[in-house]
Structure formats: structure tokens, C-alpha cells
Amino acid sequence: MKEIRWHGRGGQGAKTVSQVLAQINLREGKYVQAFPEFGPERSGAPIRAYNRISDEEILVHSAVYSPDLAVIVDESLLTSEKPTDGLHPDGTLVVNTSCSTEEIRTRTGFKGKIVVLDADRIGREAGTGFANIPMLGAVAAVLGTAWSIVEEEVRRTMGERISKEMLDKNITALRAAYDAAKKGVAGG
């Protein structure tokens, strides 16, 4: 079973993409859980969201304490939220940043795999302004999910909420981040 912890701020859509990630993995025939940090949400305040992904039925209902993946949607949380706490030593830290892998390693002291991508820039260039969808693309790449499934599920789930034009922009951002992370996984 893989456990994932998302670090974002209220309003950035970390919870939303954790739910889309669950849908993507359901399509892959997996058992999944997606849940926000339990409590009231405030715009701009640090929030956490979680995923569990497994080949077998997931029975556990407790919180996630030692994730395999920590995903930093908002770089400012890298220091304030201690995102490497409990992160499995062989796990992966995925960070939205313009810094290099080495810089993030120095800042966090994390010895496992680090994947960096400038999701803010990717979102900006694609015209969405959001980092959450690029970070979803990065996580899907790290998990080794086939692109076709990622695209299809994002189109299906997000298509109900946003216009066709905005959806296409999001898919562009998703693809750019997916490719960037894939390179990062291979390189780092």
C-alpha cells in the first residue's frame, strides 16, 4: 500500500486533486482512499490531504503518519509544515519550486528521492494559474501511471466543473508537469 500526504493551502485545490488521484487509481483497478485533514478549512491556511492506494481492500481508517510520498503544492510550507516528518526514508518528496533538487535536499535534509518542478510557472504558462493540477501530473508520473489514464480521468472529473477551454489549458499543464516529473524521476 502507498500512502501520500499533500501539503497545500486552503483554496489551492490540494484536496480536489487528492480526490482525482483516487479516481485515477480506481481506473487502474486499485483500492483507494482520499481524505482531507479532518477539520474546518480556511482559505490560505495550511491544509493536508491524504491518499492511500493499494492492490487490496483498504481496511485501515486511521490517519497517515509515515507516507511514501509527500507533495508540496505551496513552497512556503516547506519550512513551516515540516513536510518530511514521518516521510519514509525510501520515499519521495515532490516539490513545487524553481529551486534545484540539491537546494531542496539541503533545505529539508531529506535523504530519499526528491522530484522538483515549477508547477506555478507551468500553471501560469498554460493559463490556469493553479499549481494543483501540475502537481497531480507529477504525482501520477512518480507513481508510474500511464498518461492516457491520467488525461482521461482528469478530463472526466474536472470536465464537470470547468469550461472546455479551461479544461484544455489544465490538460496542457498536466502534461508538462507529467513529463517534467518523469524526467525528474529518471534523473534524480
Partner 1 sequence: MRKVMTGHKAVAEAMRQIEPDVVAVYPITPQSEIAEYYADYVHDGIVHTELVPVESEHSAMSACVGAAAAGARVMTATSSQGLALLVEVLYIAAGMRLPIVMALANRSLSAPINIHCDHSDAYLARDAGAFQVFCESAQEVYDYTLIAQRIAEHDKIRLPGIVNLDGFSLTHTSQVVEPLDDAVAKKFVGVFRPVHPLLDVDKPVTWGPFAMPDYYFELKRAQQAAIEEVPTVFLDVQKAFAKMSGRAYTGLVEKYRLDDADRALVVLGSTAGTAKIAVDALRSKGEKVGLLKVWLYRPFPYQAVASALARVKHVAVLDRAISFGAMGALYSDVATSLVRSQVLPALHNYIYGLGGRDITAEQLAEVLVGLEKVHPDEVLRYIGLRE
Binding interface with partner 1 (CB under 8 A): 19, 22-23, 26, 31-36, 38-40, 57-63, 65
**Shortest distance in whole angstroms from residue 106 CB to partner 1:** 33
Nearer to partner 1, 45 or 63 (CB): 63
Shortest distance, position 29 Cβ to partner 1, whole Å: 9
CB neighbours (10 Å) of residue 1?
13
**Least Å distance between CB 103 and partner 1?**
34
Minimum CB distance to partner 1 smaller for 61 or for 161 = 61
**Cβ distance to partner 1 smaller for residue 64 or 167:** 64
CB of 169 to partner 1, least distance (A): 25
Length of the chain: 188
Q: How far is the CB of 118 from partner 1 (least distance, A)?
A: 29
SS3 55: coil
Question: Would you say 73 and 14 are in contact if contact means Cβ atoms under 8 Å apart?
Answer: yes
Question: CB of 169 within 8 A of CB of 127?
Answer: yes
Angle at the Cα of 95 from the Cα atoms of 187 and 16, rounded to 5 degrees: 125
How far is Cα 61 from Cα 38, in angstroms, rounded to an integer?
12
CB closer to partner 1 out of 59 and 186: 59
3-state secondary structure of 52: strand
β-pair type (69-72, 113-117): unpaired
- Nearest-angstrom CA–CA distance, 15 and 182: 23
Sign of the alpha-carbon dihedral angle for 121, 175, 22, 157:
positive
With respect to partner 1, which residue has the nearer C-beta, 93 or 135?
A: 135
